[in-house]
Structure 1
Amino acid sequence: MNIRTTLAATSALAMTAVGGSVAAETMTIGITQNNVGVDSYQTTYEKAFIAAAEANSKVDVVVLDAGGDVARQIAQMEDLIQQEVDAIIIWPTNGEAVIPAVRKASKANIPVVVTNSNIAEAGFPFVASFSGPDNITQGSRSAEIMCDKFKEMGIENEARVVQISGQPGYTTAIERQKGFDDRLPEVCPNVTLVETQPGDWNREKSQKVMEAFLVKYDDIDGVYSGDDNMGVGALNAAKAAGRDGIIFVGATNFAVGYEAMERGEYWGSIYQSPVDDAKAALKTAIETLEGKELPFLNYFDTPKITQDNMGDFTKPVF
């Protein structure tokens, strides 16, 4: 197994080979990731992906990170096409903007597997398969968690909720917000979603967003965040302001979210493993190259986790 890695490189010349020459019977798979350094989920995903590749003698991988830059990711796609890799895995920085690059790979007869966050529907004809979580379902389940808690508290007819979404234009953020926005009025029709602002998957920014919400609204009963990293940022703002009794619900249970649940400060989230995510993406790419028939959408399950059932789940490693 041969791995070539770089952080945010845009040129194939910037990459150096590690190990011996690539054997003729191996398959070379390139991956361009969204932004490894932005949160621990993506960092853990990359480590798990490399470990899975190292364990497979049939695979050589080129591991790239776009650093959250759409232009850089498009350039990385073009580099991988120029290198004539056998398959490309892309974790899109922007579901719309990467479509031309994905189309270019498809025209070069290089199958593309989208991982974690899907591209926009217009790009589906150029994609072999998607591997990752069902983000709309995650948002829906988060709404159910929050509604159930409000009903337990007896405030389902008066509760007011604010939402901190992910990075604008990012498919995961769009889908998790849609799932929540659509499901909440179905299960708790009298709960009011008063405002949504982006937290960009960043804890510090989300804390500032929540600080502004707390100044603007005297009555906040619940906060939904697109992941626990942002949710804990919102929790920190509420704690600093002395605003007790707010129900915090996220999606993608981070270690910091799990710990806050243990302390009784954070109510619930959605359990998702970056290790499973990474392994599934590599497996999907390999099986695509082997000619196996796969569904277009390859989802892995992401169950609800709350203070009530968290003992059934191990603490996340990210």
Structure 2
Amino acid sequence: MRFTVRLTLAATTAIAGLALAGAASAESYKIGITQNNVGVDSYQTTYEQAFINAADANPDVETVVLDAGGDVARQIAQVEDLIQQKVDAIIIWPTNGEAVIPAVRKAHKAGIPVIVTNSNIAEPGFDFVASFSGPDNITQGARSAEIMCDKFKDMGIADEAKIVQISGQPGYTTAIERAKGFEDRLPEVCPNVDLVETQPGDWNREKSQKVMEAFLVKYDDIDGVYAGDDNMGVGALNAAKAAGRDGIIFVGATNFSVGYEAMENGDYWGSIYQSPVDDAEAALQTAIDVLDGKDVPFLNYFDTPKITQDNMDQFTKPVF
């Protein structure tokens, strides 16, 4: 998928309420974005539309919006195409944190600042990146561990609980970091909880359901499931329901609408609240700030708080 958004004053006036605070810049910029895989889940679909809306609200920005469809080779080709177009900045949502480094290096050598969005590239590529804009995935994983541990303590099973983990796509930085944050924090807060196995669910609900089905056959005793996002977590929940395995505590790391609904129903305990709209708007604003010469932190995080059945009334239902 590829299309260009050209901005007009009329469009800006029509949706001025969506404008980012301080987004207007002294110059006109052409900013390209290559996304991971828009069609894979509702978070990425919502992110793309929010990015377009935010760009459309700024009369000084022209954007080239691309989608790699989860294909690393396609994303590398898209970065090279954006370099040839001589865009002023490139935003990349990496399909693979390691594999995209050579393409990011090419953009850097061409004098084009690169902003990484949502999921960071691997550390060897940091020298070629102007800024990362997105959630702190390690903190998200750590907070999910705290949610799980607190619930086990309330239940009186913190000294004996056994859990399984369904992680995201292998090689994908967000998946790696959310797993690391959880695995590092869990023994600090609940040292006797046993993480018996981890398998990838690839951000896919159906695959995660099959992973959970296998876990349920393999393990007679499962007290909790940690999933890298609620889409996978609800897949695991569906497997447990079908097998008649009640009493399992489900915790995710990005609250999807399906996770929110499952929490309302009392089937799913908690997650981390993350907005794709905030994510998209922050990425665009970071690119503009870099081009404007502002002092932008390398790790430009936005906050993602804990959400559980106990405090969910403080949060609106996710739109994705």
Q: Could you tell me the TM-score, scaled by structure 2's length?
A: 0.93
**2:7·2:61 contact (CA, 8 Å) conserved in 1?**
no
Could you tell me how far apart the structure 2 residues matched to 1:151 and 1:291 are? 49
Matched, 1:58 2:46: no
- Percent pairwise identity: 85
Aligned counterpart, 1:202:
204
Could you tell me how far apart the structure 1 residues matched to 2:31 and 2:203 are? 28
Could you tell me how far apart the structure 2 residues matched to 1:18 and 1:119 are? 29
**2:7·2:59 contact (CA, 8 Å) conserved in 1?**
no
Letter in 2 for 1:87: A
SS in 1 for 2:202: coil
SS in 1 for 2:119: coil
Could you tell me how far apart the structure 1 residues matched to 2:248 and 2:5 are? 51
Aligned counterpart, 1:42:
44
Letter in 1 for 2:111: N
Q: Indicate how the Cα distance of structure 1 residues 115 and 16 shifts in structure 2: closer, same or farther if over 3 A, else same.
A: closer
Aligned counterpart, 1:169:
171
Alpha-carbon displacement from aligned partner over 1:218-272 (angstroms, at most 9, x marks no partner) = 0000000000000000000000000000000001100000000000000000000
Alpha-carbon displacement from aligned partner over 1:246-299 (angstroms, at most 9, x marks no partner) = 000001100000000000000000000000000000000001001101110100
Could you tell me how far apart the structure 2 residues matched to 1:77 and 1:192 are? 43
Aligned counterpart, 1:246:
248
- Note the aligned Cα RMSD (angstroms): 1.3
Matched, 1:98 2:100: yes
Aligned counterpart, 1:302:
304
Aligned counterpart, 1:77:
79
Q: Indicate how the Cα distance of structure 1 residues 284 and 19 shifts in structure 2: closer, same or farther if over 3 A, else same.
A: closer
Could you tell me which of 230, 234, 249 is aligned with 1:232?
A: 234
Matched, 1:218 2:220: yes
Matched, 1:30 2:28: no
Letter in 2 for 1:185: P
Aligned counterpart, 2:158:
156
Aligned counterpart, 2:273:
271
Could you tell me how far apart the structure 2 residues matched to 1:313 and 1:85 are? 38
Cα displacement (A) at 1:26: 1.8
Q: How many residues align?
A: 303
Q: Could you tell me the TM-score, scaled by structure 1's length?
A: 0.94
Letter in 1 for 2:46: T
Q: Indicate how the Cα distance of structure 1 residues 16 and 142 shifts in structure 2: closer, same or farther if over 3 A, else same.
A: closer
Letter in 1 for 2:115: V
Q: Indicate how the Cα distance of structure 1 residues 19 and 275 shifts in structure 2: closer, same or farther if over 3 A, else same.
A: closer
Could you tell me which of 177, 181, 184 is aligned with 2:183?
A: 181
Could you tell me how far apart the structure 2 residues matched to 1:77 and 1:211 are? 39
Aligned counterpart, 2:316:
314
Cα displacement (A) at 1:60: 0.2
Could you tell me how far apart the structure 2 residues matched to 1:17 and 1:301 are? 29
Where does the alignment leave 5 or more consecutive residues of structure 2 unmatched? 9-25
Cα displacement (A) at 1:25: 4.7
Alignment of 1:274-285 (within 5 A): 274-285=276-287
Aligned counterpart, 1:128:
130
Could you tell me how far apart the structure 2 residues matched to 1:313 and 1:53 are? 26
Cα displacement (A) at 1:19: 7.5
Could you tell me how far apart the structure 2 residues matched to 1:55 and 1:186 are? 45
SS in 1 for 2:55: helix
Q: Indicate how the Cα distance of structure 1 residues 17 and 293 shifts in structure 2: closer, same or farther if over 3 A, else same.
A: closer
